[in-house]
Amino acid sequence: MRNAEYGWFLDLASQLSEMKHDHYKQLLAISTLIELLVDKGLLSPEEIKTKASEMEAELNRQLLL
């Protein structure tokens, strides 16, 4: 195949790479915030787990409506 036929694939691969990098940066920021909140005693790991479970259950409930 010629390079022109691969153009869409290369564009898609580039976009996916950018999305993965953005996702990593967002995950790092969220993880950092959680660690700081726990380290400062503002939240406990159990509170975070409980709230995450509640939010996941609510999301699943909404998706089933």
Q: Tell me phi and psi for residue 40, to 5 degrees.
A: -85, -5
Whether 5 has a pLDDT exceeding 80, the answer reads: no
The residue with greater pLDDT, 5 or 8, is 8
| Tens digits of residue pLDDT in 28-50 | 999 999 999 999 999 999 999 99
User: What is the arithmetic mean of pLDDT over 55-63?
Assistant: 95
Cβ(38)–Cβ(44) under 8 Å? yes
| CA distances to 8, 9, 10, 37, 61 from 3, in Å | 10, 10, 10, 50, 47
